[in-house]
Amino acid sequence: MRLQVEEVSFAYGSIPALENVTFKVRAGEVLGIVGPNGSGKSTLLKCLAKVLKPRVGAILLDGKNLASLPGREVGRYLGYVPPPGTGSPFPCTVLEAVLHGRRPHLTWGVSQRDLAVVTSALAFLGLTDLAERQLEELSSGQRQKVLIARALAQEPEVLLLDEPTATLDLRYQLEVLSLIREFAASKDRLVVMVLHDLNLASRFADRLILLCEGRIFAAGSPKAVLTPENIRATYGVEAVVSETQWGLQVIPVAPVGIPAQDKDPQLRKVGAQV
Ligand code: ADP
Ligand code: MG
C-alpha cells in the first residue's frame, strides 16, 4: 500500500483550509500530522478519508484515485477515527458500533471471523464489560476507545486517526499508540495520524508533517521538524527540545508575540516535499 497526496487544496466556501499539500506515505510507515489549532489537520484527514473532496489535486491509493473508488472499496482500504467529541449519528451499543466496523467485509451476515475480530478489538481496548452499554452513556475517553476499536475491527490497509489519544489516560495512550505502530508494521499497511502531543508524536511517528495555515511548513524526521525555531514560528511558543531514549521531549516555555509566519512569509517552506 502506498498513499500519495498531490497538490491538494481545499476550501470551506471562500475560506481556504489546505493549500498545495503534497506528500507520500509508504507501506509500514506511521506519518504524524502536527500543527497549531486551525492549521488544517482535521481537514487533511477528512480529505484522505473521502469525507471531504479536495477542490484541487489528487489522492492516490496504490496509484488509484480515491475520488473514483466505489464506496464499498473505500471502506476496505480506509479506516477513519474522527476527532474526539464527534457525536454518534444514531444511538447504538458499544458492540454494535464496533461490529459496524466489519461492514465492508460482510457478505451474507456476520461470520465467526467477524465476531472474533470484534471480540479481540473490544478486549484489547478494555471494552468487553461495556459491550452492551449505549455509546452516549460513556465518558469521552471510553467513546474514543470504541471508535478506535471500530477502526481496528475494520482491518483497513490505511488507518487515519484524528487525535486518537487526546482523551485517553496515560496507559491507553501508550497502548493504543504501540498498537498503531504494530498495525503499520504488519502486512502492507500504513497510518496517518494527527497528534496534539508533540512528545508522543516524536516517539510514535516515523515522520512528521508540520502544518501551518493550511500549508506544509516542515516535513521529515521528528528531530528535523520539531526544532525550537519551527515550534516558535508555527505555534508562537518558545520551547526547549531535548532528546531522550523515548523520543524528543518538548517543553513549552512561554508564548512569544505573534507567530512569525504572520509577519514573515519567507518563513513558510511552501509545498515542502516529503
Ligand atoms: P485543525 O484540525 O488543524 O485544528 P481544521 O482542519 O479543523 O484545523 O480547520 C482548518 C480551518 O478550516 C480553520 O480555519 C477552521 O476554522 C476551518 N474550518 C474547519 N471546519 C470548517 C467548516 N465545517 N466550515 C467552515 N470552516 C471550517
Ligand atoms: Mg482538528
Mean pLDDT over 81-106 rounds to 87
pLDDT band at 189 (very low <50, low <70, confident <90, very high): very high
In angstroms, what is the span from residue 43 Cα to ligand 1's centroid? 6
Ligand 1, atom 12: closest residue by C-alpha: 17
Q: Is 15 in the pocket of ligand 1 (CB under 6 A)?
A: yes
One-letter amino acid identity for 7?
Answer: E
| pLDDT tens figures, 154-173 | 999 999 999 999 999 999 99
Q: What is the DSSP secondary structure assignment for residue 105, as one 8-state letter?
A: G
Set out the domains of the chain in order of their start, with CATH numbers. Answer: 2-224 (3.40.50.300), 227-274 (no CATH)
Mean pLDDT check: name the lowest of 81-90, 181-190, 253-262: 253-262
Q: What cell was used for 141?
A: 475517553
Q: What is the pLDDT of residue 105?
A: 81
Read off the pTM.
Answer: 0.90
pLDDT band at 247 (very low <50, low <70, confident <90, very high): very high
Q: Residue 18 CA: which ligand 1 atom is closest?
A: 10
In angstroms, what is the span from residue 128 Cα to ligand 2's centroid? 29
Q: Are 62 and 73 in contact (CB under 8 A)?
A: no
pLDDT at 184 over 80: yes
β-pair type (30-34, 190-194): parallel
Q: How many angstroms separate the CA atoms of 83 and 149, rounded? A: 14
Per-chain mean pLDDT for the chain: 91
In angstroms, what is the span from residue 119 Cα to ligand 1's centroid? 35
